[in-house]
A and B are shown apart, each in its own frame.
Chain A
Amino acid sequence: MAKEMIKGNVAVAEAAVRAGLVSYFGYPITPQTELLEYLSARMPELGRAFVQAESELGAINMVYGAACTGLRTMSSSSSPGVSLMCEGISYIYGTEVPAVLVDVMRGGPGLGNISPSQADYTQVVHGGGHGEYHLIVLAPASVQEAIDLTGEAFYLAEKYRTVVVILMDGFLGQMMEPAVLPPFKPVNMESPDYAVAPKEGREKRFLTSINIDAPTQERLNIRQMSKWEEITRNEVRYQGYYLDDAEYVVVGFGTCGRIALTAVREAREKGIKIGLLRPVSLSPYPTEVLDKLAEQAKGFLVVEMNNGQMLDDVVSIVARRAPVHFYGRMGGMVPYPDEISQAIDEMVNSDAGPELDGRAKWLELMRETIGQGA
């Protein structure tokens, strides 16, 4: 199969189609809109369901309904839209039906802007909606990886009857690069056993997220936590670069991880023994590998397009065995490799101990170099 130039948003849409997507429900929002636009033509062309919903609330609840039939369904949105969807995500998780959501993050808070950002790591990885739930969150760093993870997302959503989020940013959504699309999978229209899809001779089924009896709800919570435990055992995904002899480790995901790789390669050329850990599954997090790295590394540098949201997770896993430095850009700003190279140099030359407050040091730098205001 030949590579073709394809835009991230469109690539994910077509990958979903080829993964056997039965229905799509969405609402226009930049920088995700091409995904919806593409499917508005593509899905009807194939005789599959497409609805431009009245809102993200509408879209996610249409997905909820479709997910209750157990057939492949998805939505896509960007940060403010995902905030609206958090209600539905909690319900879908509570009902344990499979759904895929693509979040093409942009700068915030509030209306923010439409530039690339990773500011919703905490929202998507650590909650967002109410109640206790854990989503599977996959973060691609290239159009090809976004394509591959789309197929994977449907597989995981069905395997665990859960919500899988493909967490991208405006950069990946908007960027065109060469990639290979997968072959078409047959569309499965046979609903699984738990789903509502009535037919003669079959007992009634119902799907709900309500458990008015607290002891029953608690047992359900325990079972869902056990399922999550199984997911954390089986579904961790990450990419490691130059980690074998690494004395220093950069940790970054998605677009930021990709930019960091350039800086890490430059540092290697300068003779610095440094590697990159790029978590692909942000949830479950690659805790074990990071834990092992904390045994050998002299220092960590977390790079993100946010205020240090994954940083908190890294700090907790490293557990003061080494200093954890931080470099981030916010507000829809994307760091250049040079900025990360500089942060690497500062880490290597730093005499900070494991008690270092990486965020405080970074914020001081931001105030000095960029300034505050507006």
Chain B
Amino acid sequence: MTDTDVKVVYQRPIGLTDVTTHYCPGCTHGVAHRLIAEVLEEMGELRNTIGVAPVGCAVFAYNYFDFDFVEAAHGRAPAMATGIKRTLPDRLVFTYQGDGDLASMGMGETVAAAARGEQITIFFINNTNYGMTGGQMAPTTLPGQKTSSSPLGRDVETQGYPIRTAEMLATLDGASYVVRRSLHDARSIRNAKRAIRTAFEIQKAGLGFSMVEFLSICPTNWGLNAPKSREWLKDHMLPYYPVGDFKVSEEAERVMKEVR
């Protein structure tokens, strides 16, 4: 026994349940989950929020977040979130989607929600592959990148080009706040958290559609350990998917300054 004073400096946010997740070791889903839970706790919105889980690695996100959740069909989360938000407009409603779910199966629902200026927030995990089904080519897979369904590397002549989702959505008038952040180092993670806060504040103020894209790692399917995955993200993803603010409406700008 010791008499030394102890102080808790790091613990599970109350917005996350006390369970072991099914995510692979090193995966940044855990980081993204934690940031969202921390922000909602800080905003005092945990009992005023409904999350919409995707089909993909985050399909069981509702087991990990300790607040109300629904589980959508593949790609349809923005539509489902629309139905919830229009019915309960005073609640915070967000979707949490991967790149296959959002940018392939659900691009129609995503673009339409952004164009309508739907008062929802989308958190978009871009890890350049389909994680849950075992690492197939995604709309975000980089040119030349090997996946289980582009074994020779993505050939843009036959398999087309990656989609820069944030840049694309930023062209829509209904989108109020569309940014890309990365989860590969501590500094980026802190910036990512500020973006989450900004997005939720924008929704709370009724200023329209918001999306935060997170560059994420997938050590298992990339065949790299976590540190090497983070390096790979930095070396390969950041040049193609630059971090930045692609759309910040005038009203959103004001909110963003307050969050800083």
Instruction: Identify the A interface with B (CB < 8 A).
Output: 22-23, 25, 49, 51, 53-55, 57-59, 61-69, 71, 73, 87-88, 91, 95, 196-202, 204-210
Contact = CB atoms under 8 A, between A and B. Distances in A.
Nearest to A72: B87
Contact of B84 (A54, A66, A199, A205): A66
Contacts of B76: 57-58, 61, 64, 88
A73 B66 CA distance: 27
B109 A204 contact: no
Contacts, number: 126
Nearest to A52: B116
B71 A54 contact: no
A68 B84 contact: yes
Contact of B69 (A55, A61, A67, A196): A196
Contacts of B86: 23, 49, 51, 62, 66
Interface stretch (B27-35, B47-55, B164-172): B47-55
Interface string B135-163: 00000000000000000000000000000
Given A53-B79, A57-B76, A210-B59, A198 B47 contact: yes
B256 interface: no
Interface string B58-75: 011010011111111100
A207 B108 contact: no
A206 B71 contact: yes
B226 interface: no
B73 A61 contact: yes
A252 B62 CA distance: 47
B82 interface: yes
Contacts of A65: 52, 70, 72, 79-85, 87
13 contacts: A61-B83, A62-B86, A65-B84, A68-B70, A69-B84, A196-B69, A196-B70, A196-B84, A198-B67, A199-B48, A202-B47, A207-B69, A208-B53
A55 B72 contact: no
B189 interface: no
Q: What 8 pairs across the A-B complex have the smallest Cβ distances?
A: A65-B83, A54-B112, A61-B79, A208-B71, A62-B83, A65-B80, A66-B83, A61-B76
A57 B107 CA distance: 12
Contact of B82 (A57, A62, A207): A62
A61 B88 contact: no
A359 B173 CA distance: 56
B91 interface: yes
Nearest to B63: A206
B121 to A, nearest CB: 14
A48 B81 CA distance: 17
Contacts of B84: 65-66, 68-69, 196
A176 B247 CA distance: 49
A246 B159 CA distance: 66
B248 to A, nearest CB: 25
Contacts of A202: 47
Nearest to A58: B79
Contacts of A95: 70-71
A64 B87 contact: no
B55 to A, nearest CB: 9
Given A66-B86, A87-B73, A198-B50, A57 B79 contact: yes
Given A54-B108, A54-B112, A204-B67, A69 B88 contact: yes
Contacts of B49: 198
A222 to B, nearest CB: 21
Nearest to B61: A206
Contact of A73 (B69, B83, B85, B109): B83
Contacts of B71: 95, 206-210
Contact of B73 (A73, A91, A196, A205): A91
Given A23-B87, A64-B83, A71-B87, A57 B109 contact: yes
Nearest to B109: A58
Contacts of A71: 87
Given A57-B76, A198-B48, A204-B68, 15 more contacts: A51-B86, A51-B116, A54-B112, A58-B108, A61-B76, A63-B83, A64-B79, A65-B87, A68-B80, A87-B73, A197-B91, A198-B47, A204-B69, A208-B53, A208-B62
Given A65-B80, A66-B86, A200 B72 contact: no
B72 A61 contact: yes
Contacts of A198: 47-50, 67-68, 91
A28 to B, nearest CB: 15
Contacts of B53: 208
A100 to B, nearest CB: 14
Nearest to A54: B112
A22 B116 CA distance: 20
Contacts of A197: 68, 88, 91
A151 to B, nearest CB: 20
B50 to A, nearest CB: 5
A230 B26 CA distance: 49
